[in-house]
Amino acid sequence: MRVGIETMTPVHIGTGNQHDTLYYHIENNIETGGYTCYFLDIQKIVGALSALNQQAFSQWVDEAAIEFSQSDNKNVSNARKKFTLASFMKDRLGIPEIECSKLLTSGEGVRYSAPVKSEQGNRYLIVEHVRTPDHNLFIPGSSLKGAIRTALGFRMIGNMEQGRRSIILKSVMSRISEEYPNRIGRAEELIDEQVFNCSGEKGYRQYFDLMKFISVSDSFLKELTPCIYQVSTITENKRGSSTYNVQNLNLFEMIDGGLKGKLLFHVNFNYEQFRAVAGKGEWQLLDEKCRLAFGVSAKELVEMKAEADVFVVKQCFDALGELGAMVLRHDMKWAEQRFGTMDPVFKMFKGIEKEIPAMTFKIGYASGFHAMTYYCLREYRETEHDFHGLYKEIIRKQKLDVPISRRRSVAEDREVMDSTVSMFPSSRRFVTGVKNELISPIGWVKPVILDK
């Protein structure tokens, strides 16, 4: 089935890499009145210099490396301000500013450009968005499939009998207590293993996964300009008996919000493979998993034949909508208590809420298993204590993602943190603008099923 994804707020799917200051140039755009970031091909730009200037560049890089290695954090931060190609050309080579600007904003040396929609300030690294080799924005199908997995996992746990849920959680708590360095990553893996495993062999590492029947294609976006946004996070830390907040501001390449019909995926259920597996006796748990995930038995899916594809895909997006609605409800509760109902932050969530019947959900940065399911799962009151104990063991820090300019007194912050902020330990990331004002939460998208 073809599925279109509309971006309701800025979305970031990261590569795990960052653009260093040497590899981009930010300049005031006189025509737009804003700033534009130009991402550079250093090899082409330096290759066009004379042999003498290339030697000067090599020496300049070596000097910077020595300065970075011998400096403390503050001095390294100051050194990064000078570690730009514009600085090298103007200060070392004496190239006039107009000519330098031309070299860094046009020609083959520029890979692509993006408008800067937030304050650049003293930020030295930009978190990279995934791209194709020819620099087109790229959303991997694995990101959407990961969102489907989280939503189906949430639904399946919710549909289990109380005793089965308690057994899973106690088993996971026991396992992670033995693997202290890997607690956070292991919790999701261990829960997935027991929720989606269709083999029935507890000790078998390569378990047969219900999600193997579902495939999601990659989405390549041609001629779509990324935007540079600042993401604001305040993390609560404790040192001894004192509690203090550390503000983290990072620049991110993102797909802008408000894009309609730009993202196209193909989501399919492999009916033929499922039919073949369902006929084998060793997959005795397959029937149970299908009932928990899709509300029908494996036999009923086989009898649907080709129509099973449409049915399963719609069930996946229904599950995404169910989880999205619950996440949004918790976020709105937090925003209402934190800012009040008249604040723009609360109104942002109200705007998203209108789209919930259309299966709105989050994708990308800060939308993983822990961010999406922590307190949502606790709504199943009979297992609330188990879930609370599990995540208290896993998550050591509570995060309060609000720019300093929007904070209230320390006493009020403490009160709000105790009552509401802990509901979502890692999902609250906000895009902030040139004055550090909140622009929107990130990652919310709306699917549109194109094949009826």
What residues contact residue 141 under an 8 Å CB cut-off, 6+ apart?
A: 215, 216, 217, 218, 219, 265
Q: Does any domain span residue 2? A: no
What are the tens digits of pLDDT across the range 63-86? 888 877 776 666 666 777 778 899
Q: Per the structure, how many domains does the chain have?
A: 2
Q: Which helix H or strand E contains 69, and what residues bound it?
A: helix 51-70
- Give the ranges where 118-256 is alpha helix by DSSP (H): 141-159, 162-177, 183-196
Indicate whether 156 and 304 sit together in one domain.
yes
Contact 125, 21 (CB under 8 A): yes
Indicate whether 240 and 334 sit together in one domain.
yes
Q: Does any domain span residue 213? A: yes
Q: Does any domain span residue 437? A: yes
Largest CA distance in the chain: 77
Q: How confident is the model at residue 85, as a pLDDT? A: 92
Query: Which of 71, 93, 122 lies at the terminal end of a domain, its last residue?
Result: 122
Q: Does any domain span residue 135? A: no
Q: How confident is the model at residue 223, as a pLDDT? A: 75
Indicate whether 96 and 160 sit together in one domain.
no
Query: Which of 70, 88, 122 lies at the terminal end of a domain, its last residue?
Result: 122
Q: Are strands 227-239 and 242-254 parallel, antiparallel or unpaired?
A: antiparallel
Q: Does any domain span residue 65? A: yes
Indicate whether 108 and 158 sit together in one domain.
no
Indicate whether 210 and 69 sit together in one domain.
no
pTM: 0.84
Indicate whether 285 and 428 sit together in one domain.
yes
Indicate whether 78 and 183 sit together in one domain.
no
Positions of the chain with pLDDT under 70? 71-77, 120-123, 173-188, 200-207, 233-248, 280-283, 370-428, 436, 452
Q: In whole angstroms, what is the distance from residue 153 CA to residue 394 CA?
A: 19
Query: Which of 122, 151, 182 lies at the terminal end of a domain, its last residue?
Result: 122
Q: How confident is the model at residue 390, as a pLDDT? A: 54
Q: How confident is the model at residue 375, as a pLDDT? A: 47
Class of residue 139 by CB neighbours under 10 A (exposed 0-12, middle 13-18, buried 19+):
buried
Contact 55, 63 (CB under 8 A): no
Q: How confident is the model at residue 238, as a pLDDT? A: 52
Indicate whether 195 and 59 sit together in one domain.
no
Q: Does any domain span residue 6? A: no
Indicate whether 145 and 118 sit together in one domain.
no
Q: How confident is the model at residue 424, as a pLDDT? A: 46
Domain that holds residue 97: 21-122
Indicate whether 116 and 208 sit together in one domain.
no
Indicate whether 312 and 340 sit together in one domain.
yes
Q: How confident is the model at residue 135, as a pLDDT? A: 85
Q: Does any domain span residue 310? A: yes
| Count of C-beta atoms within a 10 Å radius of residue 263 | 24
CA neighbours closer than 13 Å in the CB half-sphere of residue 208: 16
Indicate whether 146 and 64 sit together in one domain.
no
Q: Does any domain span residue 245? A: yes
